[in-house]
Structure formats: structure tokens, C-alpha cells
Amino acid sequence: EVQLVESGGGLVQPGRSLRLSCVASGFNFEDYAMHWVRQSPGKGLEWVSGISWNSRSIGYADSVKGRFTISRDNAKNSLYLQMNSLRGEDTALYYCAKDRNNGHGYFGSWGQGTLVTVSS
Amino acid sequence: EIVLTQSPATLSLSPGERATLSCRASQSISTFLAWYQQKPGQAPRLLIYDASNRATGVPARFSGSGSGTDFTLTISSLEPEDFAVYFCQQRSFWPPITFGGGTKVEI
């Protein structure tokens, strides 16, 4: 069974940084692209970033480009999101999502999310 | 960036009725469209990918159709567990990947 467990969320002041982690199990992590998707309270879904299996292909939403960095460690079955210069509009539940196939661009499995609150 | 517009925002139906949800893209995305279901307090669940392919374990009452800019998710006969929010998502020309604003199917 695929399991994705996010951590690292919390309350942070505007302008500060936070690093999210996602530990994967139940599948060959190194075979799949991975993504971060966020959802503001009571709102819709927003794709944040995606990374290919070998980290050679990476993409970001314009809203986070230059501030967020996605990375992965296949030896640790882990996905990361380094978030710098955080803003109030980054407040959201951040989901780790497994690509349905490698680079397919659909989200076949999701974690339960980690909540990031940006506020002074 | 490709914008996805879902309609209606809310669909009020009864169990056993047919639900028809629409998703329109701002430009052609071929069949690179997925549908997700989200229930309160839960992560989204992939239902349909590439416009018409059911994901593993998805009941046959869910079907998707369309190509280009107009897409439809149909639930042939609503079960009580189908009342939820449904999102469409496109992967054509990504990044970025974009989602529609959602349709809430309520009793």
C-alpha cells in the first residue's frame, strides 16, 4: 500500500523559512516523479512544484518560483520542499503527491498533508 | 497558463440521480485532463485520467468524456458516498499543472 507522510509544517512569521518533508513507502520511490500540491483553507487546489525521478526535470508554479526549492533523496525515499521568504498567501495545507506514472502529471496517491500557517 | 473553469459551482441532487459536471479549458489540452474527488477532511482521490480512463478501483458509475477544451464527468447514479467536491486538472504543457475551481455535489 502506498503511503506518503508529510511533516515540517507549522506557524511561521512572514519572511521566514520552512522545510517540508515527505517520506514514501509501499512503492519504488525512485521510479516516480513526485509533486507538492497545496490547498488554502476552504479553497481549491494549487500545484506548487514537481520533480522527475532523477531530479533532472523540475517545475514550479509562478507563485513560488524563486522562493521554493523542491528536492528528493531516493536513498531515503524522501521528498522535500524548502520554502523561503514565506508570505501570508502561502498559508495552506501542503500535500505530497505521487505521480501516477513517471512524469505523467497526474496525482495517483496523496499524503494527508501538513499545515503551513504564515502569520506574525 | 491554462485556466480551467468548472460549472456549476454547486450541484444539488438526490441519491440515484445522474450528475453531469463540466470543465472547460482556456485553450486546447487534447485529452490531458483528470478528475479528482475530495471529501471533507480527506486528500483528493484520482478518479479519471486522460479524460476518460478510470483509475484503479473507481466504480463504473464514474465516467469521463471530452477533448480539446470541453470535458464532462458523469456519475450515472449517485450513491450517498459520492456527495463531495470534484476538481478537474490539466497536465498539457506543464509546468504549470493547473486545477479547476471545483464543483460541490450536495444533497
- Taking the Cβ of residue A59 and every Cβ of chain B, the question of whether any pair is shorter than 8 Å is answered with yes
Identify which of A77, A37, A36, A69 has the alpha carbon closest to the alpha carbon of residue A53: A77
Percent of residues, chain B, with pLDDT higher than 90: 94
Task: Check B96 against A106: CB less than 8 A apart.
Answer: no
B48 neighbourhood in chain A, CB within 8 Å: none
pLDDT on residue A102: 74
Instruction: Tell me which residue in A47, A111, A112 faces B99 most closely, judged by beta carbons.
Output: A47
Residues 77-106 of B with CB under 8 A from A: 87, 89, 91, 94-102
- Kindly report the nearest CA distance between residue A76 and chain B, in angstroms: 24
A47 neighbourhood in chain B, CB within 8 Å: 89, 95-99
Q: How far is CA A110 from CA A119, B69, B70, B76, in A?
A: 26, 27, 27, 26
Q: Which of B38, B97, B98 to mutate against chain A (most A CBs within 10 Å)?
A: B97
Contact status, residue A51 vs residue A57, Cβ threshold 8 Å: yes
What Rg, from alpha-carbon coordinates, does chain A have? 13
Residue range A1-51, pLDDT digits in tens:
999 999 999 999 999 999 999 999 999 999 999 999 999 987 889 999 999
- Kindly report the nearest CA distance between residue B46 and chain A, in angstroms: 6
Instruction: Tell me which residue in A44, A95, A105 faces B43 most closely, judged by beta carbons.
Output: A95
Rounded Cα distance between B66 and A97, Å, is 25
Least confidently predicted of A58-67, B57-66, B79-88, B91-100: B91-100
Residue range B25-49, pLDDT digits in tens:
999 999 999 999 999 999 999 999 9
Q: What is the Cα A93 distance to its own chain's centre?
A: 10
Name the β-bridge partners of B53: B49
Rounded Cα distance between B35 and B52, Å, is 9
